[in-house]
Structure 1
Amino acid sequence: MEVDRLSSEEYPAFYQDYINNIPREASLGMLFKSNIENLKDITRTISPDKFSYRYAPEKWSVAEVLQHLIDVERVFQYRALCIARGDKTSLPGFDHEDYVFKSEAGNRSPDSLREEAKIVRSSSIALYNSFSEPVLMRKGNMNNAPASVRAIGFIIVGHTRHHIKILREKYL
């Protein structure tokens, strides 16, 4: 399954930038794996003492960015699972800013954040490996907009790529 096969009707327009930044020639499975490796590599180039660094007062620290990626991936896993199982519930949005500020990410070690990110991604890979092609095509309602199971997988990858780019540009 490649991103080119997605229809814009499979995800909220808000996520278009994430979808646009995904390599067209790679499968979702390959993207999940390379994406987490890229995150691991970039966070290893940032010294542990810089994990509390903010490039501007109102911006997140490196630790908070990592915790945000972990939290968002978990939320999107849940959304994908609900839609895959045919749940007709309108899945609510969430305040990612509030999640970050209440996460206490600054109290965690860089290694613990990297390890949790790896575990959460392994869980995403296992979840998506369990979905058949018809399940990947199922659509549900995510934050008052239609979304397919497969689109949610690409959104996870695109969201991580977005934050990797910010880490490269602002924290290195």
Structure 2
Amino acid sequence: MKKDQSESIAPFIWILIVVVLIQVFGAITIIYSFDSWGTRGSFGDMFGVLSSIFTGLAFAAVIYSLYLQRKDLKITQEELKQSVKAQNEQAESLRETALLNALTTLVSSYTELSLHKNKAERRPFAEEYDPKRDKSLEELEKKFQELVDGNKEKSQN
């Protein structure tokens, strides 16, 4: 048995032992206090009302435990809703971060290509003018505009 389970069962076992000892002590007391079974029966009938009271108390305890479980369930549901909301906010934040990273990369590439677009401004290691660079620059401009437009649409929704 796990330690947590044994700790939760321990009070129940102690209560059970106390109840059994009280019943044994009560039975011994009744047997030695009253000499006939008729007297013992009459004495036992006096406690019929107590039996119904304890039954009612046990039923009330069951109803109360159901109430507590329902209350705990509502709290758990609220915490779950808050957790889902926080996860959705985190996902949106990650999406925005990814978009910003993509925009940063595109801006860096755009800047690099636009600085070296003209032959006069090329780096020394680029000996010839590369027409692919102009095409790449145009593609980057399109991608950049798509990302900006897509982000505007999402923020408006």
- TM-score of the two chains, using structure 1 as the length reference: 0.27
- Structure (1 or 2) with the larger CA radius of gyration: 2
Higher helix share: 2
- TM-score of the two chains, using structure 2 as the length reference: 0.29
